[in-house]
Structure 1
Amino acid sequence: MHSNPMNIPPVSIATAKAALAAQFASPALRQRATMLWGPRGVGKSSVVRQVAAQHGVPLVDLRLTTIEPVDIRGAIYADEVQGKTVWFPPEFLPAPDLPAGILFLDELTAADQRLQISAYSLILDRRVGNYRLPDGWQVVAAGNASFHGAVSHDMGTALADRMFHFHVQATVEAFLAHALEQGYAPEVMAYLRIRPDKLDDTQAQLAADHLVGASPRGWEDVSHVLQSGLPEAQQRLFVQGRIGAANAAEFFGVLRELQAGADVLQLLAAAPGAATLALLPRTLDGLYALVYGLVAAASAAQAMARALEVAAAFTELRADLALPLREAQTLAMELLLQRALQQGLADTVLASPAYQQHAAQRAARAAGSPR
């Protein structure tokens, strides 16, 4: 069992992103490097790119496992005028005419230790050889610790003392928000809403000494497989090759229940009232599959308005079904509102009688008054 030397609490990738953005906005904090620790596929590289885009600055992304130590220090040549050898800095390091940006040193802990020495110079002194990093640049590094199950070299306390450290951990809420924004397959989102422990099974993978396991990046690929149009036999082959045989077997078992649930397009076309209620799912898996299916289908004003009506009908199902109907309804309404904001359909939501009634009922419950 790998030990866990982290003496800082884990944070979500969204929290780490907000912190990096705030750090870049502060010229003083920007001078200190930041290290992102976390398991594979959690999104460390993605958030660094997003922060650079958010501030409208260039990003230099160095994957340290793919370069040699001399690549950072540069080439040496003989300057006959000065009578000495001089180092030419590499072209990929930020030039003086680029006053601000983010230098990202990815896979720092997995890099060859000789290469780490050059990288550490950029982290500690913001320079290597005769090259000096412009003052407006922020250095962000990322890597895995040994307990994340990846190749990792220990980081000494002297280096660690020169950096801010964030221990990034996968959370299903952050993943689902990203998945919704990126248009992942509704089945993947519904499955992970029901089975959040399956988002990242690194520890179980290590304990069983398995090579392949589930991770946030893996579920992204599973989504692409489901959306590929491949026959089911080939989908199974790709999915088990990405998240492992046991995870794939459980996923496809639940997937059958999800796909056997409500037909979203049929529900959107159904008349309100009894016709809608007759088509609503009666299982937990089916209920959450419908939630994410409605969100995926609500890409136009008419579909959005009807999806809100369907979500409003959840609480009209029989109470003896023992389903979290109110919670599912609230989730659906919140996700549909998020989708509307992305699609420019906010007015459709705010004008919807179904949404207005839901908002009024929530306000009444919050105030503690009967409704």
Structure 2
Amino acid sequence: MSGNPMNIPPVSIAAAKAALIEQYADPVLRRRASMLWGTRGVGKSSIVRQVATHFKIPLIDLRLTTIEPVDIRGAIYADDTLAKTVWFPPEFLPPPDQHDGILFLDELTAADQRLQISAYSLILDRKVGNYRLPDGWQVIAAGNASFHGAVSHDMGTALADRMFHFNVQTVIGAFLDHAAEMNFAPEVMAYLKVRPDRLDDTQAQLSGDHLIGASPRGWEDISNVLNSGLSATAKRVFVQGRIGAANAAEFFGVLREIQAGADVVRLLAARPGAETAALLPKSLDALYGMIYGLLAASVDDTTLSRALEIIEQLPDIKGSTPLPIREAQTLSMELLMQRALSTGLEGAILDSPSYQRYAERRQRDGGDA
């Protein structure tokens, strides 16, 4: 491929996952391969694993850049009885009695072109040599195009015509939902909430001819660094080495503001009313830092109920810069409700006077609580 020929609309990683689940559920559509296009770290491999987990089926994950062409074709040997040379299929391909599963051909476009010939045979004809893929198996491939800044070989139109194609792109809302579910460091979620353009800076990285840049996978690593027991100095070194010096400098600048403007531990310990109001953040960065900090701290009925009281007091913020208070309250309530439902703490939400008053106000304003 030359230029940017991706003439299909982008879809979020969540939408691609939902579509693949529906495809696998249809026995006819399952027999047609699907191809996930997208930049590094967007989550292509992750959703394929999630689809397999959803159906509780086997997943064979072939990283095509790590194997040789003969590995797919298998080994040839002489059969004296038949007086012929025949092929032994490789052990990693599903046997005939394994009726259902997903065969994932990752890094398809980066593989050696001789290897692609064998991979294409599995996609086009669902067989290679004398081996035939069982009918219940779905083939999903993934790779990068040349305009994604990765090593990539052209895909011919004959092969492209045999697959469904997904132009997977990062959507900040879906990523933050995933981050909250996976308990990312609240500082990372707060930063990306107010700097969504920093989630994936592949294009800026390419235009600047930089080796290191930010990506969804990179922010997951940054979250792990922040949640670790490393010293502050080591954390800075690792963050710089993962997302680049410029991104790291901006991130740590925002991090300082979050830490200075929102002390979640003190807020949780404060009494409702004036004591809480005095501790509320007064900048946008600190506001979202507090929201995601409260989310991380809501691990039982007591902390969750207290977090709801704090969110109810957001209109008490008195600062020189106007803040999106209603939007922040709505986001907070939604995040805390999701956390409660996933951890069995929904009773604390329903018993909370703060949440009841929020729900009543939303009804009066014509919204859904």
**Conservation of the 8 A alpha-carbon contact between 1:187 and 1:292:** yes
**Conservation of the 8 A alpha-carbon contact between 1:315 and 1:329:** no
Superposed, 1:1-371 pairs within 5 Å as 3-318=3-318, 321-366=321-366
Report the Cα offset of residue 97 of structure 1.
Answer: 1.6
Give the whole-Å Cα distance in 2 for the aligned partners of 1:283 and 1:40: 33
Give the whole-Å Cα distance in 1 for the aligned partners of 2:249 and 2:320: 31
Deviations 1:244-267 (A, max 9, x none): 110001101111001112211211
**Conservation of the 8 A alpha-carbon contact between 1:69 and 1:114:** yes
How has the CA–CA distance of structure 1 residues 319 and 357 changed in structure 2, closer, same or farther, with 3 Å as cutoff?
A: farther
Deviations 1:115-155 (A, max 9, x none): 00000000000000111100000100000001110000010
Return the letter of the residue paired with 2:180: L
TM-score w.r.t. length of structure 2: 0.98
Give the whole-Å Cα distance in 1 for the aligned partners of 2:356 and 2:94: 52
Give the whole-Å Cα distance in 1 for the aligned partners of 2:211 and 2:268: 43
Is the partner of 2:261 in helix, strand or coil?
A: coil
Is the partner of 1:282 in helix, strand or coil?
A: coil
**Conservation of the 8 A alpha-carbon contact between 1:10 and 1:166:** yes
Give the whole-Å Cα distance in 1 for the aligned partners of 2:319 and 2:202: 38
Return the letter of the residue paired with 1:57: I
Report the Cα offset of residue 27 of structure 1.
Answer: 0.3
Return the letter of the residue paired with 1:207: S
Give the whole-Å Cα distance in 2 for the aligned partners of 1:363 and 1:23: 39
Is the partner of 1:366 in helix, strand or coil?
A: coil
**Conservation of the 8 A alpha-carbon contact between 2:281 and 2:317:** no
Report the Cα offset of residue 316 of structure 1.
Answer: 2.7
What fraction of aligned residue pairs are identical, expressed as a percent? Answer: 71
RMSD: 1.2
Report the Cα offset of residue 349 of structure 1.
Answer: 0.9
Deviations 1:146-172 (A, max 9, x none): 111000001000000000000000111
Return the letter of the residue paired with 2:255: L
Consecutive unaligned residues of structure 1, counting only runs of 5 or more, are none
Return the letter of the residue paired with 2:126: R
**Conservation of the 8 A alpha-carbon contact between 1:60 and 1:104:** yes
Give the whole-Å Cα distance in 2 for the aligned partners of 1:359 and 1:320: 29
Give the whole-Å Cα distance in 2 for the aligned partners of 1:247 and 1:319: 28
Return the letter of the residue paired with 2:31: Q
Report the Cα offset of residue 239 of structure 1.
Answer: 0.6
Deviations 1:152-197 (A, max 9, x none): 0010000000000000001111111111111110000000001000
Which is further off, 310-319 or 241-250?
Answer: 310-319
Report the Cα offset of residue 362 of structure 1.
Answer: 1.5
Return the letter of the residue paired with 1:5: P
Return the letter of the residue paired with 1:30: R
Deviations 1:303-346 (A, max 9, x none): 11111111111123248640001111111100000111111111
Report the Cα offset of residue 228 of structure 1.
Answer: 1.3
Return the letter of the residue paired with 1:49: R
Give the whole-Å Cα distance in 2 for the aligned partners of 1:166 and 1:26: 18
Is the partner of 2:365 in helix, strand or coil?
A: helix
How has the CA–CA distance of structure 1 residues 281 and 77 changed in structure 2, closer, same or farther, with 3 Å as cutoff?
A: same
Report the Cα offset of residue 367 of structure 1.
Answer: 6.2
How has the CA–CA distance of structure 1 residues 126 and 306 changed in structure 2, closer, same or farther, with 3 Å as cutoff?
A: same
Is the partner of 1:229 in helix, strand or coil?
A: coil
**Conservation of the 8 A alpha-carbon contact between 2:282 and 2:319:** no
Report the Cα offset of residue 39 of structure 1.
Answer: 0.2
Which is further off, 289-298 or 76-85?
Answer: 76-85
Give the whole-Å Cα distance in 2 for the aligned partners of 1:150 and 1:366: 48
Is the partner of 1:302 in helix, strand or coil?
A: helix
Give the whole-Å Cα distance in 1 for the aligned partners of 2:367 and 2:332: 22
**Conservation of the 8 A alpha-carbon contact between 1:60 and 1:92:** yes
**Conservation of the 8 A alpha-carbon contact between 1:39 and 1:144:** yes
Consecutive unaligned residues of structure 2, counting only runs of 5 or more, are none
**Conservation of the 8 A alpha-carbon contact between 1:190 and 1:292:** yes
Which is further off, 319-328 or 342-351?
Answer: 319-328
Report the Cα offset of residue 22 of structure 1.
Answer: 0.5
